[in-house]
Amino acid sequence: MSAAVVSSAEDLAALRRSVRAFLADAVPEAEVRRLAETRTGFDPAVWARLAGELGLTGLVVPEEFGGSGAGFAALGVVLEEAGRALLPAPLFSTVVLGVHALLLSGDVAAQADHLPEIAAGRLRVAVGGLGTGPRARAIAGTRGWLLEGTVDGVLDGATADLLLVFADAEGGAGLFAVPSSAAGLSRTPLRTLDLTRRQARVELHATPAALVGAVGDGGRVSAALLDRALAALAAESVGGAQRVLEMAVEYAGTRYQFGRAIGSFQAVKHRCADMLIDVERMRVAAEAALGAVDAAAPDLPVAARVAASFCGEAYFAAAASGIQVHGGIGFTWEHPAHLYYRRAKSAELLFGSPAEHREALLRQLGH
C-alpha cells in the first residue's frame, strides 16, 4: 500500500471497504468475544495479516522507514472501521501512539531503529505516561538512564515488545524507550470495563532505558501526541456509534409488538433520530480534528479537545440508547450491545473526562 493509494476520496472509500471486509471476516463478534477471554486479548495471526495483507501497521510510517506515508485522514478511516468492529488488537497503541511518539520526538536514530519494524508488523509498541497522570522518574547514571515508578492504564502494555515511557528527569520531562526484556520491568494486566481493549500497570525498578529525543522535550511531545490520540479516538468512536445506530434501527424494524414494528412507535423513532443526529455531529467533529492534524493547523489542540469532549459523551449516549431500543435482550450478556456500551464508557474516559477536555479547551481559548 503506497501513500498515493489513499490520497483521494475515492481511495479512502476503497480503503474503508477493504478494511471493513477484512474485519468482518477476521474478527466477527464471536471472535471478539473469544479473544476477550484470552490472556493476550488479540490474535497474532490477525495482527500479521493486518500488517501483511493490508499494510495497516505501516500506514502512517514515512516511506523512508518502510511505510506508506499516508495521512491522518486515512488512519481515521481505519480507526473508524476498527471501532465499528471492536477490533481486539494493539492497533491504537502501536500505530497511533507508538508511531507518532517516535515521529514527534524528532529522533532520527530511534525512528530508524523502530519504525521499519513497526511497519513490518514485527514490533508492537505501548506508550506510558501520556497525559496528566503520575509519571515515572528518569535518573541519569554512569551507564545510562534508569527509570523508577509506576504507570497505570497503559494500553496493551502487558504484551508490547517496546514501551515508550514519558518520565520526569532533572532537566525536564523526556521520552524513554524500554524493551520488554529490560531488567526491573514488571507488567500486570488490569481488569477493566472494556473487555476488548487491554490495559496494564507498568512498574519500573532501576529499569535501563534509552532516551528518545531530548530531555526537556517530553512535555511538547506528550502534548502533541495527546492531540493526535484524541483525534484518533474520536474517529474510532464514530465507528462504534455508527454500528450501534445500525443495530438499533435494524432491530426497530424487525421487532414487532401489538402487531406493529416498534420502529413505528414515536418514542422509538425519536430515540433513533437523536442517535443519528449525534453520530453525524460526531463525524463532523472527528473529521475536523483529523484534518487539523494533516494540515498541521495551529488550532489542532482546540479541534482535538472539541472532538474528544463531544464524541466521548455522544458515543456513550448512543450506546445507552441502543440498549434501550433493544429492550430486555439488550441487557443480556449474549447481545453485543453491552460490548459497545463498555467500549463507549472506556473511550469517554481514556485520556481524560469530557469535563476535563472542556476545561483544557477553555484554557486554550484564553478563558
**By the 8 A CB rule, do 365 and 302 touch?**
yes
Residue 257's pLDDT band (cuts 50, 70, 90): confident
Residues 190 and 231 in one domain: no
Handedness of CA 340, 302, 228, 7 (dihedral sign): positive
Q: What is the CA radius of gyration of the chain?
A: 21
Question: Among residues 195, 217, 239, which one ends one of the domains?
Answer: 217
Confidence of residue 206 (pLDDT cuts 50, 70, 90): very high
Least confident of 69-83, 204-218, 353-367: 353-367
Using DSSP bridges, classify how beta strands 125-128 and 162-169 pair: parallel, antiparallel or unpaired: parallel
CATH number for 42: 1.10.540.10
* Last residue in a domain, options 70, 92, 119: 119
Q: Is pTM, for the whole model, over 0.85?
A: yes
Number of independent structural domains in the chain: 3
CATH of the domain at 180: 2.40.110.10
Is the CB of residue 308 less than 8 Å from the CB of residue 357? yes
Candidates 279, 196, 290, 198; CA nearest to 239 is: 279
Domain span at residue 107 reads 3-119
For the segment 247-251, the average pLDDT, to the nearest whole number, is 93
Q: Do 176 and 236 share a domain, yes or no?
A: no
Question: Which pLDDT tens digit goes with each residue over 97-147?
Answer: 999 999 999 999 999 999 999 999 999 999 999 976 678 999 998 889 999
Domain boundary residue, one of 119, 142, 157: 119
Q: Are residues 279 and 355 in the same domain?
A: yes
Together in a domain, 110 and 155? no
Grid cell at residue 147: 527509570
Is the same domain home to 101 and 129?
Answer: no
